[in-house]
Amino acid sequence: MSDLFAALDATWPAASTRQAGGWLVREGQGGGKRVSSASALDDGAAAGIAAAEAAHQALGQPPLFCLREGQEELDQALAARGYRVLDPVVLLAAPVAQIAAQPPAHLSSFPLWPPLAITRDIWAAGGIDAARQAVMDRVAGPKTSILGRSGDRAAGAVFVATEGDIAMVHALHVEPSARRQGLARDLMRAAAAWARDQGALTLALAVTRANGPANGLYAALGLMPAGYYHYRTK
């Protein structure tokens, strides 16, 4: 599971990081919760919450903490300081070969980096704005966008990047008019095919537990829970 968290950090990186009070504090620059949160570095982090708060404030972002399984003491310490749980997340994973075994059935896919303007437009329409796209630009390792076309129309896009033998999927979006046609499943298969060609063995992603449709899709593809985390915020 620790490898999955390392892959998350590498394939969706913060603008910068700093250590404060036993926490790794990420600078998000609007790129989302994951890249704007603090994660504990050692068992003494409960005593350093105030230092992490100050580091967040120095970055001009509200304090946000990311808690993994087994960090109940830290979780309780943050709760005692008035922090509430936000967006419980599940990490899902499956063998790349399993997802890539069946090619896309309803979609032509085009891996390309840098992405085409239409790919960026599709992401922006789905709320994956310029700040989140800047996170993708920061990824140092192998990465690609995948544009999906259904017929003669651009229908969806996804971002995938590798860290070691793990490929992480991010920013999956299908245009509303093209949904319920199996296109999200096809984009996942295209992402797995690209990951296989990079030598990756595991395909993984993070999704909120509350996202029922997405969790249903990933379960149907055979991705299984491999870890959990949540945020705490005021």
Q: Once rounded to an integer, what is the mean pLDDT over residues 134-143?
A: 98
Count the neighbouring beta carbons within 10 Å of the beta carbon of residue 112. Answer: 12
pLDDT tens-digit series, residues 28-68: 999 999 999 999 999 889 999 999 999 999 999 999 999 99
pLDDT tens-digit series, residues 151-193: 889 999 999 999 999 999 999 999 998 888 899 999 999 999 9
In angstroms, the CA 95 to CA 192 distance is 9
Count the neighbouring beta carbons within 10 Å of the beta carbon of residue 102. Answer: 13
Name every residue whose Cβ is closer than 8 Å to that of residue 62 and which is 6 or more positions away in sequence.
56, 233, 234
pLDDT of residue 107: 86
